[in-house]
A and B are shown apart, each in its own frame.
Chain A
Amino acid sequence: MRVWLRLGWREIVRSPRFTTLFVLNLALGLAGFLLITAFGGSLGRHLDDNLREMLGADLVLRSSRPLTADEQAMGRTLAGPGAVQAEQLSFYSMVRGPRLARLARVVAVDAAHPLYGRLAYAGDAVHDQVIATLQRERTVLLTREAARALAVEAGETLTIGRADYRVAFFLERDPAAEFSAIDLAPKLFLGLPQVRESGLIRFGSRVSYQTLIRLPANTDAATVAARLEKALAAAAGGETPVRVATTAEVNRRLGQVVGFFAEFLGLASMVSLFLAGLAAGHLFREQLRARRRETAILLSLGARRAAALGLHTGVLAVLGLAAALLAILFAWLLLPLFAFLFRGLLPAGLHLGIGPMDAALVVVVGVSGSFLFCLPVSLRLAAVQPLHLLQQTAEAPPAQTAALRLLPLLGLLPALGLLFLLASRLGGSLFSGAVFTGGLVVLLGTLFLFARLLLAGCRLLAVRVGLTLRIVLRNLYRNRLAAASLFTALAAALLLVALIPQAERGLQAEVSRPEGMELPDLFLVDIQPEQQQPLADFFAGGGPRLSDPAPMVRGRIVRINGVPFADWRQQHVDSEERVFRRTEFNFSSRAQLDASETVVRGRPLSSEPWTGEGVFEISMEQQFSRRLGVAIGDRMVFDIQGIELEGEVVNLRRVRWNSFQPNFFLLFQRGVLDEAPRTYLASVSRVKAADKVELTRRLSAAFPNLSVIDVSQVVEQLGAIAGRLAGALRFMAGLAMVTGLVAVFAIARQEALRRERELNLLRVLGASVGRVRLLTMLEFGLVGAAAGLSAVLLSYAASYAVAWLLFDRLWRFDWPAALLLCAGATLVCAGTALFAADSVLRRRPVALLG
């Protein structure tokens, strides 16, 4: 045993360049993977530990109308003795301070608040005193950040609706704060008895009524929730507007917000890991000749074949372990950067760290990955015969059968299997893992075949050009495998680098400037019918322009094609679709479509108003129809204020939601909603930036019930979030680029060593060092240029397809960026190859001919 350990140790230390490069390369690939794993793990742990505090309860009953006494009693009974309840309601409203008016989220709480967690107050304020004061007086409690957003200080008043509230207390820590930057309206707390004074709890107001329940210890929340849902549904005769939420559901929802993006980042890190593995295989291949000889010597001396091969496996395992440990160090150093990139998107108090399971996983991946990615080379070692020592050449005879020739390719399958498992874990499902792995194989296979085509072209071109280029093209063609591998690795890395800025640009452009449309500056909600004319008068006289107010009526979907909605949902709708969990929807009608809408299938709605006879016509948004499983010709029955009405879907619309115009999933034929109670939505455009604050304040004073959403601020915040997310993506792409470059280095060096006799002969025959360097640079530079061009074309094709599918064809070809990428790829590839081959090029020709 000792002899094997000694041999293994000597293998590692005698090749410091190989060992360092191998470990460093693999560590970079693993670091990206670990960053995402640690990020997801930290988020998961934080949510698990803090969910009750964030939710404020074990269970929450939510409805858009006040819970009835029976419903509340049901909650108390099923929660069991010892359960504690608290009541709460929340809504969005304009809030006017001494300096500005702004949309805020108002949360009215009762004396039992909070059921979990402790609120921390600024100054000497004591919890019982604060809560009692809120119930007793018209006071508000808010964080300092919210106060800054509302430009209000302690002791000043905020006007909410028609009542004034004094800013009495400041909150240092709100455990229920979910994601600090995504919540676009500052939050403030009132006492529940005081909220009615505002006059904002009225018909048409979108208020969320909540009953929070703290269950007795050791009670299973999921079981109680299920019983409650059943009881509420039974009491309502089938469909209840009351939803029951548990911490598990909230966990899933919160996780989805960042989790989706983390999954995407994770898959990007997989590309980096794959490229690192590819480079590792090439680096190990450089050692193949020496290792083959040594294996043959050991076999000739009487070593068992399993032991001789185990030596190399052990060395790879040790290198993989070293890489994993280094990756843990890298990730630990880079995690704060990640936290910075995602700031504002993460729950307050989240600490990003590497858990023991994350570290253990990376060690397993490092050790196994090191072996698996080098397997195609290791298989060649397995075929070594000591007989070869008696032959004049150190090379093994060529493979005799097709099976043997395929062996290196088949040797890649276990590595792909590892990638599949990791991608499935990161993507959250076997399906996403299969899609990623399959997609990667297809992409790499396509690039490889494309490279072979290009190289075949080199052969044809070689006869037509001068000596230098002829040598270069001939080298490329005759070393097709190495050149194609180089091209594939580089193009894959460049593709990621090229895609991300395009995606970011497309997203930014789409959000801030929907093509052909004027983005409004303000969006008005909760306009009462009697306010239409006064509002029109308010905006009369030039300056800011008010759009035609769009009516909004709330109602329920009762049946689709005769099937009760609850049953239809179970049969046709994905259980993850949140929008269909609610029972109430918003409907509207209009004389003609807005500029942001286009009928894509079916016929336009009739211009004649519905007479009340027969079924009326419905226009449905196309994504909504797909998710609901409804098609043209389907019949739907609605309940609007207790009256059932039946309509038929006659067309599907595409809606540009990013236009921020009043748009709806369901539009009815004119005349259907004329008698229904309604509110209105409208947008305001052409507001000068300098006038916005004053305009908002005046609007709020004139129409206290109105909610005014600053669209440009929303766009700016979305843009900022998109920018930050793109930053994280760019980081991952950068990692992929680095690992791609290591692959370039490894292949270039391998080629230089393999062809050192040829290079030496050129010099012996009179070629200067400069000329030989030029040949090297041209050869690899051409590959780099081809890879860069391919990556640019592929990335633009992909981003065009995405823009066409998702962003209504908003797409531009960025010439400067494309040229920069191609030029950069050429120079970097040529430079790296020159650096890799330098030690061979600098040797004296005589030494090499020995």
Chain B
Amino acid sequence: MSAPPDREETVLVQVDNLGKSYAQPDGEPLVVLAGAALSLAAGETLAITGQSGSGKSTLMALLAGLDRPDSGRILVAGRDLVGMAEAELTRFRAGHIGIVFQQFHLMPHLSAEENVSLPLELLGRPSPPEGIDALLDRVGLAARRRHLPGQLSGGECQRVAIARALAVAPDLLLADEPTGNLDVATGRSVADLLFHLAERERMTMIVVTHNEALADRCTRRLRLERGLLL
């Protein structure tokens, strides 16, 4: 088990006693999380691994504020996600949390640069073209900024998704199996990009993955087993 942050370091993410279960047709609830807890300092990268069906995606959804736990507390940058109303949670997520999905989930009819600037526009923040260009340049796609997702390869789509997640300069970056839909070589280059940017921006990042190599690149590592983070 990786060591938790020292008390002097700023804790960006604090999860305590998180519980989540789902109703089943036979009436017996399926317990996915049973008191999971973690603590993550600013600038740390954490890998959460586990077998299929262990609840990794559930945990990711709770950390991103996309779902509500049955019990426990989630603090991100000092704010309790569980206590927030829906609108407040949405607003907080938009400005403080960046998400990279396994299936990229780009808007198919927006170009690369438009996909990247979309979160800023939704927040109502100005999105100067040079800022967007710089982001795309950082992910190596400045020359493809006007291309639609359908004209990009899987790896290129994921790079755009990474740039989009970084556009709002989030406090926390969540990556759900970021290389899961990519071949080995492409996955490696995307992973390199992701960690390079995280290090450069001193980004706090949580990566959910079953890829051991990817998990090894994080500063800390936790395993989700029987509803607990070990």
| Interface residues in B4-54 (C-beta closer than 8 Å to A) | none
Cα-based distance from A300 to B108 in the complex (angstroms): 16
Tell me if B160 is interfacial: C-beta within 8 Å of chain A: no
Residue with the highest number of chain B CB atoms closer than 10 Å, among A14, A290, A301, A385: A301
Contacting pair A391 B118 (CB below 8 A)? no
Cα-based distance from A296 to B64 in the complex (angstroms): 13
Across the interface, B90 reaches (CB within 8 A) one of A7, A10, A302, namely A302
| Interface residues in B99-139 (C-beta closer than 8 Å to A) | 99, 101, 103, 105-110, 114, 118-119, 121-123
Contacting pair A390 B118 (CB below 8 A)? no
Across the interface, B122 reaches (CB within 8 A) one of A3, A11, A290, A390, namely A3
Which chain B positions have C-beta within 8 A of A302?
90-91, 93-95, 119, 122-123
Across the interface, B101 reaches (CB within 8 A) one of A7, A10, A389, namely A389
Cα-based distance from A11 to B110 in the complex (angstroms): 10
Which chain B positions have C-beta within 8 A of A10?
109-110
Contacting pair B109 A301 (CB below 8 A)? no
Tell me if A299 is interfacial: C-beta within 8 Å of chain B: yes
Residue on A nearest B174 in the bound complex, by CB: A390
- B66-103 toward A: CB 8 Å interface, digit per residue (1/0)? 11000000000000000000110011011100010101
Residue with the highest number of chain B CB atoms closer than 10 Å, among A14, A296, A390: A390
Which chain A positions have C-beta within 8 A of B121?
2-3
How far, in Å, is B67 (CB) from chain A's closest CB?
A: 5
How far, in Å, is B102 (CB) from chain A's closest CB?
A: 8
Count how many chain A residues have C-beta atoms less than 8 Å from C-beta atoms of the other chain.
Answer: 26
How far, in Å, is A68 (CB) from chain B's closest CB?
A: 83
Q: Known: A14-B109, A390-B176, A391-B57. Contact between A301 and B66, CB under 8 A? A: no
Residue on A nearest B67 in the bound complex, by CB: A387
Contacting pair A11 B109 (CB below 8 A)? yes
Which chain A positions have C-beta within 8 A of B57?
390-391
Tell me if B207 is interfacial: C-beta within 8 Å of chain A: no
Cα-based distance from A299 to B123 in the complex (angstroms): 12
Cα-based distance from A100 to B121 in the complex (angstroms): 87
Which chain A positions have C-beta within 8 A of B190?
none
Which chain A positions have C-beta within 8 A of B119?
301-302
Contacting pair A298 B122 (CB below 8 A)? yes
Cα-based distance from A299 to B86 in the complex (angstroms): 11
Count how many chain B residues have C-beta atoms less than 8 Å from C-beta atoms of the other chain.
Answer: 30
- A1-41 toward B: CB 8 Å interface, digit per residue (1/0)? 01100110011001000000000000000000000000000
Across the interface, A300 reaches (CB within 8 A) one of B103, B105, B114, namely B105
Which chain A positions have C-beta within 8 A of B191?
none
Tell me if A597 is interfacial: C-beta within 8 Å of chain B: no
Contacting pair B61 A301 (CB below 8 A)? no
Tell me if A672 is interfacial: C-beta within 8 Å of chain B: no
How far, in Å, is B92 (CB) from chain A's closest CB?
A: 9
Contacting pair A390 B93 (CB below 8 A)? no
Which chain A positions have C-beta within 8 A of B61?
387, 390
Tell me if B203 is interfacial: C-beta within 8 Å of chain A: no
Contacting pair A301 B176 (CB below 8 A)? no
Across the interface, A304 reaches (CB within 8 A) one of B90, B105, B118, namely B90
Residue on B nearest A299 in the bound complex, by CB: B90
Which chain A positions have C-beta within 8 A of B90?
299, 302-305
Residue on A nearest B102 in the bound complex, by CB: A390
Tell me if A734 is interfacial: C-beta within 8 Å of chain B: no
Cα-based distance from A166 to B114 in the complex (angstroms): 88
Contacting pair A3 B118 (CB below 8 A)? yes
Tell me if A408 is interfacial: C-beta within 8 Å of chain B: no
Cα-based distance from A201 to B95 in the complex (angstroms): 97
Contacting pair B122 A303 (CB below 8 A)? yes
Tell me if A293 is interfacial: C-beta within 8 Å of chain B: yes
| Interface residues in A382-418 (C-beta closer than 8 Å to B) | 385-387, 389-391
Which chain B positions have C-beta within 8 A of A7?
107, 110
Residue on B nearest A14 in the bound complex, by CB: B109
Cα-based distance from A390 to B90 in the complex (angstroms): 16
Contacting pair B122 A301 (CB below 8 A)? yes
Which chain B positions have C-beta within 8 A of A299?
90
Which chain B positions have C-beta within 8 A of A304?
87, 90
Tell me if A297 is interfacial: C-beta within 8 Å of chain B: yes
Tell me if A164 is interfacial: C-beta within 8 Å of chain B: no
How far, in Å, is B22 (CB) from chain A's closest CB?
A: 10
Cα-based distance from A738 to B118 in the complex (angstroms): 41
How far, in Å, is A298 (CB) from chain B's closest CB?
A: 7
Which chain B positions have C-beta within 8 A of A300?
64, 66, 93, 99, 105
Tell me if A294 is interfacial: C-beta within 8 Å of chain B: yes
Tell me if B229 is interfacial: C-beta within 8 Å of chain A: no
Which chain A positions have C-beta within 8 A of B176?
390
Residue on A nearest B127 in the bound complex, by CB: A3
Tell me if B205 is interfacial: C-beta within 8 Å of chain A: no
Tell me if B214 is interfacial: C-beta within 8 Å of chain A: no
Which chain A positions have C-beta within 8 A of B172?
none
Tell me if B60 is interfacial: C-beta within 8 Å of chain A: yes
Which chain A positions have C-beta within 8 A of B66?
300, 385-387, 389-390
How far, in Å, is A692 (CB) from chain B's closest CB?
A: 74
Residue on A nearest B106 in the bound complex, by CB: A297
Residue on B nearest A308 in the bound complex, by CB: B122
How far, in Å, is B7 (CB) from chain A's closest CB?
A: 32
Which chain B positions have C-beta within 8 A of A303?
90, 94, 122
Which chain B positions have C-beta within 8 A of A11?
109
| Interface residues in A315-329 (C-beta closer than 8 Å to B) | none
How far, in Å, is A309 (CB) from chain B's closest CB?
A: 14
Which chain B positions have C-beta within 8 A of A14?
108-109
Which chain B positions have C-beta within 8 A of A390?
57, 60-61, 66, 101, 176
Cα-based distance from A298 to B66 in the complex (angstroms): 12
Which chain B positions have C-beta within 8 A of A293?
105
Residue on B nearest A2 in the bound complex, by CB: B121
Residue on B nearest A11 in the bound complex, by CB: B109
Contacting pair A389 B109 (CB below 8 A)? no
Cα-based distance from A293 to B103 in the complex (angstroms): 11
How far, in Å, is B143 (CB) from chain A's closest CB?
A: 22
Which chain B positions have C-beta within 8 A of A385?
66-67
Cα-based distance from A389 to B100 in the complex (angstroms): 11
Which chain A positions have C-beta within 8 A of B123?
302
Which chain A positions have C-beta within 8 A of B95?
302
Residue on A nearest B87 in the bound complex, by CB: A304
Residue with the highest number of chain B CB atoms closer than 10 Å, among A3, A294, A305: A3
Chain B residues within CB distance 8 Å of chain A: 57, 60-61, 64, 66-67, 86-87, 90-91, 93-95, 99, 101, 103, 105-110, 114, 118-119, 121-123, 164, 176
26 CB < 8 A contacts A-B = A2-B121, A6-B114, A10-B110, A290-B108, A293-B105, A294-B108, A297-B105, A297-B106, A299-B90, A300-B66, A300-B105, A301-B118, A301-B119, A301-B164, A302-B91, A302-B95, A303-B90, A386-B66, A387-B61, A387-B66, A387-B67, A389-B105, A390-B61, A390-B66, A390-B101, A391-B57
Instruction: Given contacts A303-B90, A391-B57, list 8 more A-B pairs with CB under 8 A.
Output: A301-B119, A301-B122, A302-B90, A302-B91, A304-B87, A304-B90, A305-B86, A387-B61
What 6 A-B pairs have minimum CB-CB distances, sorted nearest first? A302-B94, A3-B121, A14-B109, A10-B109, A387-B66, A390-B57
